[in-house]
């Protein structure tokens, strides 16, 4: 038997009672650590970090542009059809944005039902990127904690729910709920989170969604296009609804308003566990710095990061795809090269899947793992990656390893990656990336927070952004018209 096969046969021969004990310990550890949510609300952005078992798993960023509508993914509009192009199977719709939204019609025969000048209700599925209009769907959905409302009559169950008993239970419950609104053109899909949830909580979610649906319908009836009917752009609400779990232990924010909002949302979705959650006001406005999250945020903007064992991960975002290279660097494992490569690849896989979430990467993703000869080891690595993908709330598919050993992944793209939101190509060399103005302002503000009582000179543009906020830091600001946005000076 080959050495790598011995390695795996030993792993499979763990006594059942030992496996159960390990599982119990992991569950107890998870209960102890729980889930924590950190909300940082500043004049130029809102950032949220979701920490699970002591590790940052998700980071969300919402830049403040001063507009009442930022045309975010999930928003629902009443628009007007401006153009129908059968050869492109495309319908272009005015929803009030700078560029007309784009609706793809998969069947040429169905495109005939769309007429220029007609009103239509659509939902943004992919935000405007690189000068292209937003991609929309004419079958909007309203997401709840456990259910999703659709604008067509249907009963659906999340594919991630595998128990036949649970599928049948939810299907019966949904059918019963839809009978109570049989005059409405709505359907319901049970989300993965509905699994094992008591009927009472699912009914509460149904009532919330029904209220929103009726308000949306009334607004569409009484307003001419283009008009925003429903917004899903508030990241505090989205995070609590989509990612908060019954294992939530703590919510921290520098904003009393955001903290109250979070408490109301937890009460709405998890009333039965509200007493187990602590809501804390951060002693510092810079929440990510105060609670040690800033390093994770900055790492998510880097080309190269080093993880456990000296393994290096190199990220390269291009227009066509994102390439991720795994470099062993100083990693040392067993004497068997294949098993050493497998161990390094496994460590890398865990971090890569986490970084994909943190960096908000989407589209085609190619991972160049360290080469392994053993088919068994390759199969094991692929199986582990597929398990990790199941934890991703965005639609993600693993296509397998190519003959060159490259792992192919596709992940739903809904907007800009974290890097594209906060960095831009260097205008001098055209290859590197530089920090955006907002990132520079934030970095300067953090430094200035340690200089209370001092006088700071800034550009007029910076002053507009930080004027009200910097007063809270007890810093005197003087406008220097000749300064660029990135230049700040402290008077000695």
Condensed to tens digits (0 to 9), the pLDDT of residues 84-121 reads 999 999 999 999 999 999 999 988 888 989 999 999 99
Alpha-carbon dihedral sign for residues 186, 192, 196, 201: negative
Residue 12 has pLDDT above 50, yes or no: no
Share of the chain above pLDDT 70, in %: 87
Lowest mean pLDDT among 5-19, 350-364, 376-390: 5-19
Cα–Cα nearest to 368, from 308, 327, 412, 331: 327
| C-alpha–C-alpha distance, residues 362 and 351, integer Å | 16
Average pLDDT (408-427) is 86
- Classify residue 150 by burial, with Cβ atoms within 10 Å: 0-12, 13-18, 19+: middle
End-to-end CA distance of the chain: 73
Residues 6+ apart with CB under 8 A from 240: 37, 262, 265, 266, 269
| C-alpha–C-alpha distance, residues 426 and 432, integer Å | 5
pLDDT at 35: 94
Query: What Rg do the C-alpha atoms of the chain give, in angstroms?
Result: 25
User: Could you tell me the two tokens for 45?
Assistant: 């952005």
| C-alpha–C-alpha distance, residues 286 and 254, integer Å | 7
Q: What confidence category does residue 476 fall into, taking pLDDT thresholds of 50, 70 and 90?
A: confident
pLDDT at 357: 96
Q: Calculate ∠ Cα 381-385-389, nearest 5°.
A: 170
| C-alpha–C-alpha distance, residues 219 and 78, integer Å | 9
Cα–Cα nearest to 190, from 205, 170, 176: 170
Contact (Cβ atoms closer than 8 angstroms) between residue 29 and residue 53? yes
| C-alpha–C-alpha distance, residues 384 and 8, integer Å | 14
| C-alpha–C-alpha distance, residues 127 and 100, integer Å | 12
Mean pLDDT score of the chain, rounded to an integer?
87
Condensed to tens digits (0 to 9), the pLDDT of residues 312-322 reads 999 999 889 99
User: Could you tell me the two tokens for 132?
Assistant: 């292209």
User: Could you tell me the two tokens for 41?
Assistant: 């609300």
Note whether 35-65+234-295 and 76-137 share their fold.
no
**Highest mean pLDDT pick, 17-31, 108-122, 427-441:** 108-122
Q: What confidence category does residue 328 fall into, taking pLDDT thresholds of 50, 70 and 90?
A: confident
Coil, strand or helix at 312: strand
Condensed to tens digits (0 to 9), the pLDDT of residues 266-304 reads 998 887 778 889 999 999 999 999 999 999 999 999 999
| C-alpha–C-alpha distance, residues 383 and 375, integer Å | 12
Instruction: Report CA-CA distances (Å) from 383 to 235, 299, 311, 378, 380.
Output: 33, 27, 21, 9, 5
* CA 288 distance to own-chain centroid: 17
Condensed to tens digits (0 to 9), the pLDDT of residues 222-246 reads 999 999 999 988 899 999 999 998 8
Number of Cβ atoms within 10 Å of the Cβ of 326: 24
Residue 444 has pLDDT above 70, yes or no: yes
Strands 312-317 and 304-306: antiparallel
Cα–Cα nearest to 63, from 360, 350, 340: 360
- The domain ranges of the chain are 1-33, 35-65+234-295, 76-137, 143-215, 302-434, 436-490
Instruction: Report CA-CA distances (Å) from 307 to 49, 312, 326, 347, 355.
Output: 20, 6, 11, 8, 11
List alpha helices for 243-286, DSSP H.
Answer: 256-269
**DSSP per residue, 397-422:** EEEEE-TTSEEEEEE---S--HHHHH
What pTM value is reported for the model? 0.84
Q: Answer whether CATH 3.40.50 is correct for domain 35-65+234-295.
A: no
Q: Calculate ∠ Cα 400-386-382, nearest 5°.
A: 45
**Reduced 3-state DSSP string for 197-242:** CCHHHHHHHHHHHHHHHHHHHHHHHHCCCCEEEECCCCHHHHHHHH
- Fold exhibited by the domain 76-137: OB fold (Dihydrolipoamide Acetyltransferase, E2P) (2.40.50)
- Fold exhibited by the domain 143-215: Ribosomal Protein S5; domain 2 (3.30.230)
User: Could you tell me the two tokens for 53?
Assistant: 């078992």
Q: What DSSP character marks residue 246?
A: T
Within 13 A of 385's CA, how many CA atoms are on the CB side?
Answer: 26
Q: What confidence category does residue 338 fall into, taking pLDDT thresholds of 50, 70 and 90?
A: confident
Strands 322-327 and 312-317: antiparallel
Average pLDDT (58-63) is 93
Q: What confidence category does residue 404 fall into, taking pLDDT thresholds of 50, 70 and 90?
A: confident
User: Could you tell me the two tokens for 357?
Assistant: 């979430």
| C-alpha–C-alpha distance, residues 323 and 408, integer Å | 10
Q: What DSSP character marks residue 448?
A: H
């Amino acid at each position: 038997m080959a050495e790598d096969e011995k390695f795996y046969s030993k792993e499979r021969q763990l006594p059942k009672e030992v496996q159960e004990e390990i599982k119990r310990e992991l569950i107890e550890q998870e209960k102890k650590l729980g889930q924590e949510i950190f909300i940082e609300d500043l004049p130029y952005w809102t950032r949220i970090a979701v920490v699970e078992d002591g590790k940052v798993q998700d980071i969300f960023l919402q830049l403040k542009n001063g507009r009442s509508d930022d045309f975010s993914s999930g928003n629902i509009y009443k628009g007007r059809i401006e153009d129908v192009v059968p050869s492109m199977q495309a319908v272009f719709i005015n929803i009030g944005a700078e560029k007309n939204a784009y609706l793809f019609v998969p069947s040429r025969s169905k495109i005939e039902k769309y007429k220029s000048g007609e009103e239509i209700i659509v939902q943004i599925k992919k935000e405007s990127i690189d000068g292209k209009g937003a991609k929309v769907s004419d079958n909007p959905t309203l997401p709840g904690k456990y259910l999703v409302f659709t604008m067509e009559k249907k009963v659906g169950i999340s594919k991630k729910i595998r128990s036949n008993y649970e599928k049948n239970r939810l299907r019966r419950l949904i059918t019963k709920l839809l009978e109570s609104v049989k005059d409405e053109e709505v359907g319901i899909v049970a989300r993965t989170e509905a699994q094992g949830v008591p009927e009472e909580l699912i009914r509460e979610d149904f009532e919330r969604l029904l209220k929103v649906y009726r308000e949306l319908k009334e607004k569409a009836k009484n307003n001419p296009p283009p008009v925003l009917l429903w917004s899903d752009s508030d990241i505090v609400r989205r995070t609590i609804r989509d990612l908060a779990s019954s294992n939530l232990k703590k919510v921290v924010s520098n904003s009393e308003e955001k903290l109250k909002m979070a408490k109301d949302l937890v009460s709405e979705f998890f009333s039965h566990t509200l007493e187990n959650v602590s809501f804390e006001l951060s002693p510092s406005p810079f929440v990510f710095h105060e609670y040690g999250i800033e390093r994770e945020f900055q790492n998510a903007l880097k080309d190269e990061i080093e993880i456990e064992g000296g393994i290096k991960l190199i990220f390269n975002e291009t227009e066509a795809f994102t390439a991720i290279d795994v470099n062993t660097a100083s990693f040392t494992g067993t004497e068997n090269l294949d098993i050493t490569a497998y161990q390094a690849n496994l460590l890398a896989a865990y971090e890569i899947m986490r970084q994909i979430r943190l960096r908000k990467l989407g589209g085609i993703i190619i991972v160049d793992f360290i080469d392994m000869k053993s088919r068994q080891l390759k199969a094991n690595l692929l199986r582990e990656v597929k398990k990790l993908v199941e934890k991703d709330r965005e639609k993600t598919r693993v296509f397998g390893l190519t003959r060159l050993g490259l792992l192919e992944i596709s992940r739903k793209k809904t907007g800009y990656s974290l890097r594209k939101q906060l960095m831009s190509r260097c205008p001098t060399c055209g290859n590197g990336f530089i920090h955006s103005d907002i990132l520079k302002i934030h970095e300067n503000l953090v430094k200035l927070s340690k200089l209370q009582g001092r006088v700071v000179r800034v550009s007029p543009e910076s002053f507009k952004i930080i004027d009200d906020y910097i007063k809270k830091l007890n810093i005197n600001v003087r406008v220097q018209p000749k300064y660029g946005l990135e230049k700040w000076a402290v008077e000695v």
